[in-house]
């Protein structure tokens, strides 16, 4: 897994609102309450197969959410990047989730300091991620697999919509109760794929 490229890919798709990962109309965990898992606080670091490094720093917010700052330094000829995400966590059964609610970035073509950031377009949606804290202070992040999520929607296991074409966005439209009931099951876990594996840096 090339963490450097994957990190930039997520940041770019979020910040440019192009070909988003699977999104949900309703954040996962709405029925049980969204909060902030303190076990995430601090700096996490991960390496790619070419030894590039990315850092994710989780900071507590006053509204009980978490600010996630993602930094990917330059790697040879590859540009680095910085992203700021507002996230909240929830737990359903044995499954723990991060909902990406908002994302911000710095404009490279900003004309002045007051216009140097912008909010990306998640189109009133959130991006659900499954996460697991493991041995040796590791954090594994999982994104929904588009093909498996499409199959679940087409099979009627989840309410959702799939845009036309091979690269059409996939959006879960299930209401909060139905979404949370499904996401609490072992079957839901099978729809997710490993995105990043990080290790606590402090």
Query: pLDDT tens for residues 13-24?
Result: 444 444 578 999
Predicted local confidence at residue 104, as pLDDT: 75
| Closest among 195, 5, 199, 4 to 100, alpha carbons compared | 195
As a whole number of angstroms, the distance between CA 47 and CA 37 comes to: 24
pLDDT of residue 199: 93
Quote the pLDDT of residue 128: 95
- Mean pLDDT per 10-residue section of the chain, whose length is 202 residues: 48 50 94 94 80 85 86 76 88 95 68 55 83 93 93 94 76 96 96 91 80
pLDDT 10s digits, 154-171:
999 999 998 876 656 899
b/e per residue 144-155 (b: at least 16 CB within 10 A) = bbbeebbebbee
**Cβ-based neighbour number of residue 175 at 10 Å:** 12
Given this model, what pLDDT does residue 13 score? Answer: 45
- Candidates 15, 165, 7, 177; CA nearest to 78 is 7
Determine the longest span between alpha carbons in the chain, in angstroms: 50
Smallest CA-to-CA distance from 61 within 83, 38, 32, 81 is with: 38
Q: Which two three-digit tokens encode residue 25?
A: 């109309």
CA dihedral 3, 106, 78, 87 (to 10 degrees): 0
**What residues does each domain of the chain span?**
3-200
For residues 104 and 89, what is the distance between their CA atoms, to the nearest angstrom? Answer: 19
Confirm whether pTM is higher than 0.85: no
């Amino acid at each position: 897994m090339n963490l450097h490229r994957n990190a930039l890919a997520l940041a770019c798709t979020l910040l440019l609102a192009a070909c988003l990962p699977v999104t949900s109309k309703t954040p996962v965990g709405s029925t049980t309450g969204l909060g902030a898992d303190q076990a995430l606080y601090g700096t996490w670091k991960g390496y790619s197969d070419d030894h590039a490094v990315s850092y994710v720093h989780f900071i507590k917010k006053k509204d009980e959410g978490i600010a996630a700052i993602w930094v990917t330094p330059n790697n040879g000829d590859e540009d680095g990047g910085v992203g700021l995400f507002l996230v909240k966590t929830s737990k359903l059964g044995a499954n723990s989730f991060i909902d990406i609610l908002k994302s911000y970035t710095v404009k490279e073509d900003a004309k002045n300091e007051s216009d140097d950031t912008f909010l990306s377009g998640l189109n009133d949606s959130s991006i659900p991620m499954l996460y697991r804290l493991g041995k040796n202070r590791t954090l594994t992040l999982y994104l929904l697999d588009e093909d498996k999520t499409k199959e679940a929607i087409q099979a009627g296991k989840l309410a959702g919509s799939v845009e036309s074409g091979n690269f059409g966005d996939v959006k879960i439209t299930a209401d909060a109760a139905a979404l949370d009931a499904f996401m609490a099951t072992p079957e839901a876990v099978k729809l997710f794929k490993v995105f990043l594996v990080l290790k606590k840096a402090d």
